[in-house]
């Protein structure tokens, strides 16, 4: 089984930056099968929404609400996924979840990915 562990959440003021990390743990052969990784978030009282995904070949996708402010990246050697978040807004406040799937990222947000982390909380104050 692959485990995903997020870190880097916290509280910052609007306009600030945070960098989230997601480390994948488990058998090497299972981690090598992962083709899509992504970040999702869920704000209080709202449904989970996709933030960004990245394919094994580096193809990325972003939600319109974060384009130009967030950057998703991965370090395959370290089995780690990142989300650099700049120009943060109060509406970015949410629990951020890392996810991974054995299939390539689809055009639609996949809320049924194979592996999920437990989340890291991001709070942006105005």
Q: What is the mean pLDDT of residues 10-25?
A: 98
| Predicted confidence (pLDDT) per residue in 76-106, tens digit | 888 999 999 999 999 999 999 999 999 999 9
Q: Is 119 helix (H, G, I), strand (E, B) or coil?
A: coil
Asked whether the predicted pLDDT for residue 123 surpasses 90, the reply is: yes
Q: What is the mean pLDDT of residues 70-80?
A: 94
Asked whether the predicted pLDDT for residue 50 surpasses 90, the reply is: yes
Helices (H), the chain: 28-32
Is residue 111 within 8 A of residue 40, CB to CB? The reply is yes
Q: Is 2 helix (H, G, I), strand (E, B) or coil?
A: coil
Please give the pLDDT value at position 77: 87
- DSSP letter for each residue of 26-74: S-HHHHHT--EEEEEEE-TTS--EEEEEEETT--EEE-TTTTTTEEEEE
């Amino acid at each position: 089984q692959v485990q995903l562990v997020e870190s880097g959440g916290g509280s910052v003021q609007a306009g600030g930056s945070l960098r989230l990390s997601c480390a994948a743990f488990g058998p090497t052969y299972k981690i090598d099968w992962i083709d899509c990784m992504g970040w999702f978030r869920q704000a209080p009282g709202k449904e989970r929404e996709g933030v960004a995904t990245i394919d094994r070949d580096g193809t990325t996708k972003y939600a319109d609400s974060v384009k130009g402010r967030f950057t998703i990246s991965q370090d395959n050697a370290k089995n780690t996924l990142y989300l650099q978040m700049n120009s943060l807004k109060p509406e970015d406040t949410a629990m951020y979840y890392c996810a991974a799937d054995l299939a390539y990222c689809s055009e639609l947000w996949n809320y049924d990915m194979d592996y999920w982390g437990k989340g890291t909380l991001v709070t942006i104050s105005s």
